[in-house]
Amino acid sequence: MPQSIARALIHTVFSTKGREPVFHETAFRSEVHAYLGGCAKSLDCLPLQVGGVADHVHLITTLSRTIAIAEFVKEVKRVSTNWIQERGGLLRQFHWQSGYGCFSVSESKVADVIRYIENQPEHHRKVTFQDEYRELLRRHGQSWDEAYVWD
């Protein structure tokens, strides 16, 4: 078979450094989400939904067959960090946390994950980012060390 075809879906989550609520303004948060989607698309990873709240983001995207997860996240964070810092003021000091979570998504669960990302503001009226992230790790059978997961 000469043609290579792949369809892998991933749910990526990462926070601002120190979980600082940098994206508290709704309009700016929407711009950041749109920019992150554009970053994913430029890497040939189709963004299906990007969202989050003031201190973290969620992306559900396809994963191009030509890029590794670590390279995808590194590049999205690098390019978006530069863009955010160029906005000036206090944003010149902006950084994402160094870590991230990336989880596979079944085709049958895409709509559920999209709704979950769309409902982030309501979800976080009741649940902290840390508790949300721990639950994602548990659901995906991951272990973690509290000393290192919150940089």
State residue 127's pLDDT score.
Answer: 96
pLDDT in tens, 40-62: 999 999 999 999 999 999 999 99
State residue 4's pLDDT score.
Answer: 85
Instruction: Look at the pTM and tell me if it is higher than 0.85.
Output: yes
pLDDT in tens, 64-81: 999 999 999 999 999 999
Which long-range contacts link 19-23 to residues 24+ away (Cβ below 8 Å)? 19/55, 19/56, 19/97, 19/129, 19/130, 19/150, 20/55, 21/53, 21/54, 21/55, 22/54, 22/55, 22/84, 22/91, 22/94, 23/52, 23/53, 23/54, 23/55
Sheet of 9-15, strands arranged across: 47-53, 56-62, 9-15, 101-104
Average pLDDT score over the chain: 96
pLDDT in tens, 91-113: 999 999 999 999 999 999 999 99
Which domains does the chain show, CATH number per domain?
9-140 (3.30.70.1290)
Q: In the structure encoding, which two tokens stand for residue 63, read together?
A: 């994963």
